[in-house]
Amino acid sequence: MKHIDPQSPVSFRANIARLPHKGLPVVIEADAAQRAALAEEHGLLSVEAYRAELLVTSWKRNGVKVSGRVEADITQACIVTLEPVEAHIDEPVEALLLPEDSKLGRQGFDAGGEILLDADGPDGPETFSGDTIDVGALAEQFFGLAIDPYPRKQGASLDAGGETEPAENEFQQKLRSLLGKS
């Protein structure tokens, strides 16, 4: 049985079989239901705004390039106080995709050659099958990666009750009393 991925709340399937010469512009503006689903999926208190502006163009012989931006206004819970923390996401979207049967994607391994990867450089091409690509789900991936995993309200810290010295544990107190130190 084939595993079916749950569909993205901002799913938009772009037909890549006949892309215009200048590319296919895609704008995704999430409505209230989609924003609520995004918030739930990414563990956010709310998503006030979500917009992806993408351009889907041909790349190399059979590949596809998706570029653009995803912008969102979100509210998260502070990891210290659990109070709401507002944040703005403005993330570039850049992805290369190749058909599953493309020789270009397997070339480095099949030819016995080396593939050099730059940790700070662009990701290698991903694969797709069929005539459509879910560019909405792709934009959502970039959105998810841009979310701060440890949001903090300004001024919030993880100090234990604001003490300047860490509190002594029970063992340290007993040891101190046994040694006769106060």
Distance from the Cα of residue 30 to its chain's centroid = 17
Residue 3 falls inside a structural domain: no
Q: What is the pLDDT of residue 147?
A: 96
The arithmetic mean of pLDDT across residues 82-99, rounded, is 94
**Is the pLDDT reported for residue 178 higher than 90?**
no
**Is the pLDDT reported for residue 170 higher than 80?**
no
Q: What is the pLDDT of residues 31-61, one digit of tens each?
A: 999 999 999 999 999 999 999 999 999 988 8
Residue 4 falls inside a structural domain: no
DSSP state of 165: S
Residue 7 falls inside a structural domain: no
Who contacts 162 (Cβ-Cβ below 8 Å, separation ≥6)? Answer: none
User: For 122, phi and psi rounded to 5 degrees?
Assistant: -65, 155
Whether 47 contacts 53, CB under 8 Å? no
DSSP state of 169: P
Q: What is the pLDDT of residues 98-155, one digit of tens each?
A: 888 766 555 544 444 455 555 665 566 788 888 889 999 999 999 999 999 999 888 7
Radius of gyration of the chain (CA): 24
Residue 166 falls inside a structural domain: yes
Residue 69 falls inside a structural domain: yes
**Is the pLDDT reported for residue 166 higher than 60?**
no
Residue 1 falls inside a structural domain: no
What's the domain range around 62?
A: 13-178
Number of separate domains in the chain: 1
Residue 76 falls inside a structural domain: yes
**Is the pLDDT reported for residue 175 higher than 80?**
no
- For residue 27, the number of C-alpha atoms closer than 13 Å in the C-beta half-sphere is 1
Q: What is the pLDDT of residue 165?
A: 46
Residue 6 falls inside a structural domain: no
Whether 42 contacts 35, CB under 8 Å? no
Whether 81 contacts 101, CB under 8 Å? no
Who contacts 181 (Cβ-Cβ below 8 Å, separation ≥6)? Answer: none
Does residue 2 or residue 20 have the better pLDDT?
20
* Residue among 90, 89, 51, 92 nearest 68 (CA): 92
